[in-house]
Structure 1
Amino acid sequence: MKDAAEKGALTITVLGREFRVGCPEGEEKQLLASVDFLNRRMKEVRDTGKVVGNERIAIMAALNIAHEMLSRKGGDSGGDSAAVRRRIVAMQETLESALASDQDNLF
């Protein structure tokens, strides 16, 4: 049985690194699909050879994803903005966790 600290948490892997992140009950499949999508996009950025370092790769992938999403939605003028905001917050939390754990390796 999971203790209180582990309830609502899931271990994900982003570019070969494991992270423990919060995940509301029932949204595990959606989070894992998001992680898979993020991994694919980060690998695309990395494989161009123009961006070095996980932090920069993550930022470039996030910017590309945000740009595509806003281009499709026409900015703030449509769609379920609450759902989009929840997804962006989840991505930000994942990125912040990844960047915080990688700070020791930056210098």
Structure 2
Amino acid sequence: MSQANTVTVHILDKEYCIACPPEQRGNLESAARYLDGKMREIRSSGKVIGADRIAVMAALNITHDLLHKQDRLDQEASDTQQQVRDLLDKVEQALGDSEQDTRSLF
């Protein structure tokens, strides 16, 4: 592994060197900052002690947020699909009404 493909991040006062393609460096650094922030929030609450437990709680919280957002996106996609179907039905109905009006003229 070459130095060009490793990124050093700091999470909860520890340093980690992680292999990462150069084009993903920014995403990895953002993820590490986000995780560090979540872990610090949990540690500062005083309810969870120990880095391992803090990491697990942070992972659970982040996963919960991700799944909740995914559920919401799925629902929004379903709602959008239904709106598109409704609009297509209206267009077809309008075109059908237009054809009937044209036929009745002749």
Give your verdict on TM over 0.5: yes
Runs (4+) off by over 3 Å: none
Instruction: Please give the per-residue CA displacement for 1:4-62, whole angstroms capped at 9, x wherever unaligned.
Output: 43241111111111111111121111111111110110011111101001110001000
- TM-score between both structures, scaled by the size of structure 2: 0.64
5+ unaligned residues in a row in structure 2: which ranges? 76-106
Among 44, 47, 65, the alignment partner of 2:44 is: 47
RMSD of Structure 2 on Structure 1 (CA)? 2.0
Secondary structure at the aligned position of 1:26 is classed as helix
| Structure of greater relative contact order (alpha carbons < 8 Å, 6+ residues apart) | 1
Identity %: 34
Look at both structures and tell me which one has the larger radius of gyration over its CA atoms: 2
- TM-score between both structures, scaled by the size of structure 1: 0.63
Aligned to 1:72: 69
5+ unaligned residues in a row in structure 1: which ranges? 79-107
Compare the two structures and name the one with the higher helix fraction. Answer: 2
Number of corresponding residues: 75
1:12 aligns with 2:9: yes
